[in-house]
Structure formats: C-alpha cells, structure tokens
Structure 1
Amino acid sequence: MKNIHIKAVVIGAVLNILLFFVKLYVGISSNSLSVYCDAINNLGDTFACLIALLGFVIAKKTGEKKQLKIQSLCTFVISMIIFVTGAYFVYNGLERLMYPLQISYSNQYAIIITVTVFVKILMGFMYMAFNKKKPSPVIKALITDSFLDCAITVFALMGLFLITRVKFAADGIFAIVIGTAITVEAFKSIIEQAKFLVND
C-alpha cells in the first residue's frame, strides 16, 4: 500500500473537520437545520477518513489479498457511518416539519456555504488524482461521497435561501431530501462491500 493513499485521507480529514466547524457555525447562527445536518455530514466524513487512514496503515503491513479485505472492510464501515448520518437527517427533517423554527438568513452565510461547495469539488478532484496513481475502493468511495456532498450542500443552501420566502418548514424538507439521498447511496455501498466480504 503506497503512502499516497495515506496522504489523500489525511488531507481529506483536515479539510472535512474545517468544513464541519464552518458549517456548524453557520448552522447554529442561522438556526438552519439543513446547514447543521450538512455540518454533521462533514464530521462523519472526517471519521470516515480517519477509519480509512487506520485501514491503510494496517494494510501496509499485510499481503495484497488482505489489503483488499481491509480496504473493503473500511469502505463498509465508512458506508455505515454515512448511512446512520443520512437517517439522522431524515429524523431531524421530520422533527423540523412538526416543530418549525425561525431561520436567520444573510448573504454572508450564503457566501460561506457557497465557498464550501467549491472546497468539496476540489476535494473530489484531489481524490480522483490520487486514485489514478493507485486505485483503491476506499478512495473511490470518498470520491463519490465528495461529489454527493456538493449536491447536499447546494440543497442546504437552497433550504437556507427559501426559508425566507415561504411560510412552511422548507428547511425540514431539504433535510429529508438530503438524508434520503445519503441513506440510499450508503445502503448501496454497504450491500456491495458486504457481498465482497462474505463471498471472497
């Protein structure tokens, strides 16, 4: 296992934890559920990178067949984290629909969240560059997650924007949409990796 994978997930972990704190600030300041959920998603991505890092470090000391097993197991665990995060979003979205709260919108918040979208896009391309040099199912999962996160953040931004123009809890609806998308994609990955782990 090359150090290039370790470098990729270390950079990913650092960027994701920074995105978590930025989005958490905006989510709490604006009282936006969709932005808050997006922040939690980045926290989950940070843990995913740390799990991947642990897997790559262990895999460096094993044979090629065991490396594939370890990477598959890491991908499975990462997908489980993402799945639980998605379910958490859906739950909170339903709760927001039942108990709507006042949202504080500002152009400053919108600009900050827009910048985080471009950060995630750059992360996706970074992972792609690393994966071209040495393909890995773990890095492939992080690529998919990065670009999915871009769409999620755009939805969060839309929820933050629309809440000032509609009289129902649009924020909760966007949280449900975000959570459903994450849950479905994570479930697909869980099934794929489970099949590999059981059949190999």
Structure 2
Amino acid sequence: MDFKLLVSVILNFGITIAEILGGIFSNSLALLSDAIHNLNDTSAIFISYIARILSKKQRDPKRTYGYKRVETLAAFVNTEILIFIAVYLLIEGINKLSNPTIIQGEVMLTVAFIGLAGNLITAFLLHSGSKTNLNIKATFIHILSDTISSILVIIGAFLIIYQKFYIVDPIFTFMISGYIFVESIPLLKNTINILLQGTPTDIEIEKLKAKLEQFDFVKDVHHIHIWTTDGKDKYMEAHIRLQEKFDQNNYELDDCIDELNELLKEEFEINHTTLQFEKNRCLEEEKII
C-alpha cells in the first residue's frame, strides 16, 4: 500500500501541474479551481503516505508521543493554504462575471479529461486499502469528490465549445470553491482543536464524569483532561476521589483501575489513561471539572 500511495502522490501532482498550466493557457478559472481541489487531494495522499512512514518510527525520550501529530500539523497548514486560494478564486470569479473573457474550450476539455483519468486510476489504486484503513478511506473519498469536480469542468468545457456559454466558467468556479470551503472549514476547526489539545469532539466530559461516578468506590472525579494527538488515539488524565469507606490495598486498587479503564475504552475509545487516586481533598484547588 505504501507503493500505491507514492504512485498516487506522483500521479496526482502531475495532474495538478497539468491542470494549472491548462487553466492558464485556456483562461479557465474552473480548471484552475479543479487543479486546487486536486492539490488538496494530492496533499491528503502525501500526508497519508508520510503518516504511514512516520507511524513505523518508534517513540523516543525526546518524542514520547511519537510523530503522529506531524499529520495534523501538515493538514492544518494545507487547509489554510487551500482556504486562501479558494478566496482568491472566488474574487477572480466575480471579476470574470463582470468582464467575461474568451476561453479555449478545447484545451480545457483535454486537460479535464486527463485529470478525470488520473483520478479514476488513483481511486482504483486506493480502493482495496480503503476497506481496512480509515486514513486511506478518507483519502479515497477525497479522490471521489475530485472526480465529480473534473466531470463538472468537462461539462463546462462542452458548453463553452458548442454553446459559447463562457459564463459557465465562473459559475463552476464558485461551485468548486464553495465545495473546497465546505471540506476545509470543518477540517481546520478539527486540526486547531487537536493542536490546542482540546477535548475530542465526540466526547462529552459531563457524561464521562457521570459514568465514572456510578462506580460504588468513586466519590467524585475531577481534574479531567482528555486530548488526542492525531484524531484517533485518545489520552486522559483525571483525579479519582475514593469513598471514605473504601479499604485501600494494592489488589483492590488494581481492580478499580481495571474497571475504570475498561469503561473508558469500551464507551469512549480512550486507551491511554493516567488516573490519580485520592482519599481526602485534592491539593490542587484550581480545576475546570
């Protein structure tokens, strides 16, 4: 699969360059928009490839979490660039609506067909891996969306060639740029949340706290911190105040830890925990929850 990912990166990067050049020579903003959309997919595939390589690299004393956050950081930078370019294309599209220009439909059509063929080949290469790997599956979905984008450009090229309907170019530019926004904004929010070590969006801390406090040996749970390094692996630390009647010894404490961890893993998919047990009041007064 690593080889298929590398081939997909090279193939899609070549398509992106071809579409950028084609967009410039044909004077088509829609083709340039499709090139930017394809660049997004190329970046996604490249990030997947790098992530798979880095995931094999062992953690060390300087990188105790490993290199998983590299993928998130790359996605953050990539998404910001995409949003900036999408804004630029929207502005240019508005200008083209006011001042329509002649577009070389034949060039636009040829390059769009090349892009479509490349997307279909990439989808074929990644299809098998998308069934077993979530990261590859996300990339596969990106490629399918770019295939639709290429089809839009092809339709636009036919309208330009046979109907001289030049206004379709900025209209399709708005559609593709809008789709880039729809894809990018949630991804940007998610990557920012991960980089700020925010609570994963699928976890409600109040619900988790209530679940933990249902155990008869738990009086209350506080100083809860939950975060993720890459959107998949989840970490948690918390203070667990034990009931006064709890007869603490090593055997019982180990059983308590096992029960708490089992619940956290099964119901909240948290696999890495640090739980501090307390018998009396917490010495750290400042807490959020």
| Bin for the TM-score computed over the shorter chain | 0.7 to 0.9
SS at match of 1:163: helix
Cα contact 2:109–2:153 (8 A) shared by 1: no
Aligned residue for 1:86?
A: 86
The structure with the larger Rg is 2
| Partner Cα separation in structure 2 for residue 82 and residue 125 of structure 1 | 25
Which amino acid in the other structure matches residue 150 of structure 2? T
Cα contact 1:91–1:176 (8 A) shared by 2: no
| Superposition deviation, residue 9 in structure 1 | 3.2
Cα contact 1:88–1:179 (8 A) shared by 2: no
Aligned residue for 1:128?
A: 127
Aligned residue for 1:162?
A: 159
| Superposition deviation, residue 110 in structure 1 | 2.3
| Partner Cα separation in structure 2 for residue 90 and residue 140 of structure 1 | 29
- Check if 1:59 corresponds to 2:58: no
* Count of residue correspondences: 193
Cα contact 1:156–1:174 (8 A) shared by 2: yes
Which amino acid in the other structure matches residue 185 of structure 1? E
Which amino acid in the other structure matches residue 7 of structure 1? F
Which amino acid in the other structure matches residue 29 of structure 2? L
Aligned residue for 1:144?
A: 141
Aligned residue for 1:16?
A: 12
| Superposition deviation, residue 145 in structure 1 | 1.6
SS at match of 2:104: coil
Q: Structure 2 unaligned runs (5+)?
A: 200-226, 228-289
Cα contact 2:76–2:192 (8 A) shared by 1: yes
Q: Structure 1 unaligned runs (5+)?
A: none
Structure with the higher strand share, 1 or 2: 2
Aligned residue for 2:180?
A: 182
Cα contact 1:90–1:177 (8 A) shared by 2: no
Cα contact 1:80–1:190 (8 A) shared by 2: yes
Cα contact 1:155–1:174 (8 A) shared by 2: yes
| Superposition deviation, residue 148 in structure 1 | 1.1
Structure 1, residues 51-108: CA drift from partner, whole Å, max 9, x if none? 44444333321459756544444444444444334333322222221232111222x7
Q: Residue 109 and residue 103 in structure 1: after superposition, are their counterparts in 2 closer, same or farther (change >3 A)?
A: closer
TM-score scaled to structure 2, two decimals? 0.56
Percent identity, aligned pairs only, is: 24
Cα contact 2:26–2:104 (8 A) shared by 1: yes
| Partner Cα separation in structure 2 for residue 141 and residue 172 of structure 1 | 29
| Partner Cα separation in structure 2 for residue 152 and residue 189 of structure 1 | 19
